[in-house]
Amino acid sequence: MTAPLFKFGYFNDEVSLIVAFVIGIFFGLVLEKGGFGSARMLAAQFYFTDMRVFKVMFTAIVTAMIGLFYFSWVGVLDLSLVYFGETFLLPQLLGGLILGVGFVIGGYCPGTSAVAISTGRIDAIFYALGGMFGIFVFGEMFPYITDFFYSTAMGKINLPELLDINYGLIMLVVILMAIGGFTAAEWAEKLMANKQSKARG
């Protein structure tokens, strides 16, 4: 059996929706159990007082990268069939910046706001309503920004192709970045904890 299962016809569209729903429920449950439904915890990473979100997300990226590499290597996953969107460099950089600012201000990303809503957090409801309003504004503005939206198109490209570097080498670099990031995060947390303890007393 070779993955991705849907691409090889092991189940149809209806079953894929059920699978996605079940995975989404469990993913949301894990996020909530990890405390990621709290805006305070999520925003804390931007103040370097609690870097759990950074550590967990970077760990997830590295785990997925290693898993994809080795599953492809042993022949149980066809990487060429794994979907990823096209790259439009400048529009996506701007979109990422807007999302990041919204994350800092509101304390949630779209996924974590859905998790927080499921537990009845009022701030998450307002955050999601703000996101929906943003979608409405974007839809109304789209005819005027279409050219920019489709500008700097690079097609479906990944880092190994862009840099003409072996996938394994990219994986090693990202792992080293993760180790450096985790070390820096631990240092930042201790530094902020020391500053806070001195300020208190």
CA dist 66 and 188 (Å) reads 27
Q: What are phi and psi of 153, to 5 degrees?
A: -70, 135
Residue 109 makes CB contacts below 8 A (sequence gap 6+) with: 42, 99, 103
Cα 157 to Cα 155: distance, rounded to the nearest angstrom: 6
Query: Phi, psi (5° rounding) for residue 155?
Result: 75, -165
Radius of gyration of the chain (CA): 20
Cβ–Cβ < 8 Å for 44, 156: no
Number of other CB atoms surrounding residue 14 within 10 Å:
8
Q: If 0-12 CB within 10 Å is exposed, 13-18 middle and 19+ buried, where does residue 45 land? A: buried
Q: Residue 120 has which token pair?
A: 């009845």
Give the 3-state DSSP-derived string for 83-99, with helices as H, strands as E and coil as C: CCCCEEHHHHHHHHHHH
**Residues of the chain under the 70 pLDDT cut:** 1-2, 201
Where are the extended beta strands (E) located within 65-175? Answer: 87-88, 153-155
- Look at residue 149 in the predicted model and tell me its pLDDT: 95
Longest dimension (CA), the chain: 64
Residue 1: predicted pLDDT: 53
